[in-house]
Amino acid sequence: MSYQTKSFGFGGALTPMVKRLIIANAAVFVVTMLLDRGFVYDWFAFQPTRIFVRPWGVFTYMFVHGDLMHVAMNMLMLFFFGSPLEGRWGSQEFLKYYLICGLGGVALSYVFLPAAVVGASAAVYGVMLAFAFNWPDSPIYVFGIFPVKAKWLLAFFFVLSFLNAFSPSGSGVAHFAHLGGLVTGLVYLKSDWRVAKRFQGLRNTSRRRRMAVVPRDLDAAREDKSSAAPAQEPREDAALYDAVDQVLDKISAKGMSSLTPDERKLLDEMSRRHRSN
């Protein structure tokens, strides 16, 4: 499985938080193989019936896996879909979202699934969802051959998890955890909690800069009406911050999904400036 877009492609750089998560999961898997597997599951899996005895399991279960294929597939998907997302959001925001989706898997499993749950799948499914939100038409090459748009691949995984979760036969896979990660990620993204926090500082910066820029232009014009027009850079800055405010107002009214590619590009650029200042 690989992907391609205009701004990144297969073989892109491994971002810091994704790298740390992959190392942590791989290390825990090695330790699990070296120790008694039953002991690790008993102490670090999420067990709905023992949640008050092993409360830490709601977090530690995300780093425990059943076998090599389980951990390999989750980490491969985390690498492909997580690195571009971390590059856009930043490491702290990405980690927060990852853990929240993992907790969403815990919540749904607690309600519907009495068995123990292990694996990062809930968090990874949430990452896949966020990737599809940001790059819905990006082609994902299944088996490196068949191109499928990210939004349709995500829809396929959702339907598959939903049908299997309510299948009477069962398959030993925590499909309710997958659904929990997807539903939690959807609620989080649609509610614009991430966007509101991310851009509140940007809005405040925009207002402060406009107040600082525009009066200087007006004062310069009053001091010498016969002189040439004031330098264009301050006016251009003011216009830029006006554009940012308009985009932020649009997010508040219609959500992040309503933005055009140019508006997303503007916010990404302004966010980078804001973080560097």
| Residue 235 token pair | 């006016």
Distance of CA 143 to the CA centre of its chain: 24
Q: How far apart are CA 123 and CA 157, in angstroms?
A: 14
Place of tokens 């205009």: 6
Number of domains in the chain: 2
At 100-118, the pLDDT tens digits run: 999 998 888 887 766 788 8
Tell me what percent of the residues of the chain surpass a pLDDT of 90. 23
* 169 and 205 share one domain: no
Q: Cα dist. 240→76, 93, 231 in Å?
A: 39, 25, 15
Last residue of a domain, one of 190, 215, 236: 190
Question: Quick one: 130 and 171 in the same domain?
Answer: yes
Residue in the structure block whose two tokens are 């938080």: 17
24 pLDDT above the threshold of 60: yes
Question: Which of 168, 190, 212 is the C-terminal boundary of a domain?
Answer: 190
Three-state DSSP at 239 gives helix
- 244 with 147, same domain? no
Residue 145 confidence (pLDDT): 74
Tokens of 153: 């691949």
CB 185 within 8 A of CB 124: no
| pLDDT category of residue 129 using cuts at 50, 70 and 90 | very high
**Size (the chain), residues:** 277
Q: Are strands 139-142 and 146-149 parallel, antiparallel or unpaired?
A: antiparallel
Claim to verify: residue 101 and residue 44 sit in the same structural domain: yes
| 144 and 213 fall within a common domain | no
CATH classification of the domain holding 10? 1.20.1540.10
Q: Name the domain boundary from 145, 160, 190.
A: 190
Rounded CA separation 142/120 (Å): 21
Co-location of 168 and 215 in the same domain: no
Tell me which residue has tokens 């120790």: 35
- Residue with token string 């019936």: 49
Residues spanned by the domain of 206? 195-276
pLDDT tens profile 213-260: 444 444 444 455 444 444 444 555 667 777 877 877 776 666 565 667
Q: Exposed, middle or buried by CB within 10 Å (0-12, 13-18, 19+), for 63? A: buried
| Whether residue 85 sits in one domain with residue 35 | yes
Question: Do 45 and 59 share a domain, yes or no?
Answer: yes
